[in-house]
Amino acid sequence: MNLFVVVATAVWLMLPAYIPNNAAVLAGGGRPIDGGRTLGGRRLLGDGKTYRGTAVGTTAGAIVAVVLNQLNPTVADLLGAELPTFPTLVLVVLPLGAMLGDITASFLKRRTGRERGAPFPGVDQLDFVAVGLIFAFLVAPGWFLDSFTLPVLAVILVLTPLLHVLTNGIAYVIGVKDEPW
């Protein structure tokens, strides 16, 4: 498999996990998941993690996976390479895992004394990837092992932090985020 196809496959597979956090930010507001509760004097998650954002993000990621499944034959033909289709459970748990990964990172941020929006290098860029991939593996291990080859995983680990920085910078410039990270 050539590098272009590996990169295209990595992006294809991760789009349902890349979209949710962006969609959650655009959903804006709602009731915080932690209900304002604290642990050790710090919020469990903070106001940025809401039920609405989690539901909207997960739904947006699932819709993206459904659309990709519909586009698969056409895009695969254009690429001249086979692309994976998302099994039904994966198209839900991949974006849900991405959202839960971000929620977990918020919990870790609060425990380490970081405020909402404070950078947490490494964790900020890969939290959603790790949990999304774990969920996908748990519900469809055969599909996961066939789809996420070592080259594809390597591209995801390199490309994701770059995309994270780029998309957060854009969100900051257009005013939907208060900080550029």
- Give the tens place of pLDDT for each residue, 22-60: 888 888 788 999 998 989 888 888 888 999 999 999 999
Average pLDDT over residues 146-153: 97
Question: What is the total residue count of the chain?
Answer: 181
In this structure, is residue 112 part of a structural domain? yes
Q: Is residue 29 part of a domain?
A: yes
Q: Residue 92: what pLDDT?
A: 97
- What is the residue type of 146? D
Residue 118 in domain? yes
Q: How many domains does the chain have?
A: 1
Confidence at 68, pLDDT banded by 50, 70, 90:
very high
pLDDT at 1: 67
161 inside domain: yes
Would 26 be classed as within a structural domain? yes
| Residue position matching structure tokens 């594809």 | 152
Q: Is residue 166 part of a domain?
A: yes
pLDDT in tens, 152-163: 999 999 999 888
Provide the residue range defining the domain that includes 66: 3-173
Asked, for residue 181, whether it belongs to a domain, the answer is: no
Are 160 and 129 in contact by the 8 Å Cβ rule? The answer is yes
Q: How far is CA 171 from CA 26, 51, 82, 176, in A?
A: 10, 21, 33, 5
pTM of the model: 0.88
Query: Would you say residue 180 lies in a domain?
Result: no
